[in-house]
Amino acid sequence: MNLSRITCLATLLLTAPAAAQLQITPPAAMPSPSAEKQKPKEKPKAKPHTITKKKEAAPAPKPSASPSPAPAATVIPAPPTDNSNVDLVFGAYQRGQYKTAFDLATARAKNGDPKAMTMLGELYSNAMGIRRDYAKAIEWYKRASDAGDREAMFALAMLRIAGRGSPVDKGDAVKLMASAAKLGEPKAAYNLALLYLDGQTLPQDVKRAAELLRQAADAGVPEAQYALATFYKEGTSVPKDLDKAVRLLQAASLADNVDAEVEYAIALFNGTGTPKNQPAAVALLRKASRQGSAIAQNRLAWVLINGMGAPVDKVEGFKWHLVAKTTGKGDPELDKQLADLPAEDRAKAEAAARKWLGTK
């Protein structure tokens, strides 16, 4: 059972795109007795027209390392369709009219509307139209949580874990997250799954994590779709099923999950669990490369330099090789080929890489 690949990449899900994320450092994954008895066969070396995702050595877990605080989760409350007043609040929020949303939500919250309370917590915690005040955000999230609002429960759980507005309280955070997940909040289900994988805040329970990931994946959370795809690909607490894994990777890649884009591109290129489609694979590798994936950049370099699924373009290929190398994803074989490149083409590749990186 190899969990390091999932948990090393996994982060507690924050819906604010620019927000820093809370890293989870997992304990060393212990192989199950059945896994020890039946070790997987050694994979054959890749053929010339096969690409693979290079596996990086997992970093040694830090002993009892406490996660650093993360900012509050951004929760966009979904208004009930039968309440035009709350629809006005949500509409103002969507248009960026935060002061208007605050005024409208305040009036609704006084009448006991939990969605309006959640909105006030959101505005206070993210300094939208009003000065940031985590204590007031907690107050409103707590009132909405007590009234049964699942999004408020999740947001409050994230504040408890991060220690924003009050001391860190992982116990209360877990309870809130579990309640929100039980009520169908997909982000809560995903994060709770990570805590079960982590094995520090909660006892490690991979089977329960798989169930929660399925719940979140079915609701369209791309991070959960990617993680669950890895479960199916490796047969971790679920039957091994490459077809399901690829379908999940496809769904997550359509939602711009970069890791899923890379994995799905490799599946398409090799025809693993899906019909082979190398042009589509190369297009996905290009997309992921532009999004900053060093693994995608390295694989794209290979296909362009060798004309695998795309016309040969050594200048562009070596550009991506040099870009990937700046993030520590060097490739000795490509270094050798770069050294043999004509000086003019090498200069062009180096100039293109500098332009992409924004360096002189």
Instruction: Return the CATH number of 84-190, one of 3.30.70.1150, 3.90.1710.10, 3.90.1150.10, 1.25.40.10.
Output: 1.25.40.10
Distance CA 298, CA 40 (A): 27
CB 89 within 8 A of CB 110: no
The predicted structure's pLDDT at residue 32 = 36
Which pTM was predicted?
0.77
Using the CB atoms, write b or e for 135-146: b if 16+ within 10 Å: ebbbbbbbbbbe
Q: Which helix (H) or strand (E) holds 356?
A: helix 343-357
Distance CA 42, CA 110 (A): 64
Q: What interhelical angle do 134-146 and 114-125 show, nearest 10?
A: 160
Residues 6+ apart with CB under 8 A from 360: 354
Angle at 202 between CA 210 and CA 157, to 5 degrees: 90
Q: Which helix (H) or strand (E) holds 195?
A: helix 186-198
The predicted structure's pLDDT at residue 323 = 97
The predicted structure's pLDDT at residue 4 = 52
The predicted structure's pLDDT at residue 359 = 81
Domain boundaries, the chain: 84-190
Phi-psi region at 24: left, alpha or beta (left = phi > 0; alpha = psi -120 to 50): beta
Per-residue pLDDT of the chain (360 residues; tens, 9 = 90+): 455 554 444 444 433 222 222 222 222 333 333 333 343 344 444 444 556 654 443 333 333 333 333 333 444 444 444 455 557 998 999 999 999 999 999 999 999 999 999 999 999 999 999 999 999 999 999 999 999 999 999 999 999 999 999 999 999 999 999 999 999 999 999 999 999 999 999 999 999 999 999 999 999 999 999 999 999 999 999 999 999 999 999 999 999 999 999 999 999 999 999 999 999 999 999 999 999 999 999 999 999 999 999 999 999 999 999 999 999 888 999 999 999 999 999 999 999 999 999 986
DSSP state, 23? Answer: B
Distance CA 127, CA 88 (A): 20
Distance CA 152, CA 137 (A): 10
- The DSSP secondary structure of 104-117, one letter per residue, reads HHHHHHHTT-HHHH
CA dihedral over 299, 43, 47, 227, signed as positive or negative: negative
Beta bridge partners of 157: none
Residues 6+ apart with CB under 8 A from 312: 304, 305, 306
The count of C-alpha atoms lying within 13 angstroms of the C-alpha of 245, restricted to the half-sphere facing its C-beta, is 22
The predicted structure's pLDDT at residue 297 = 97
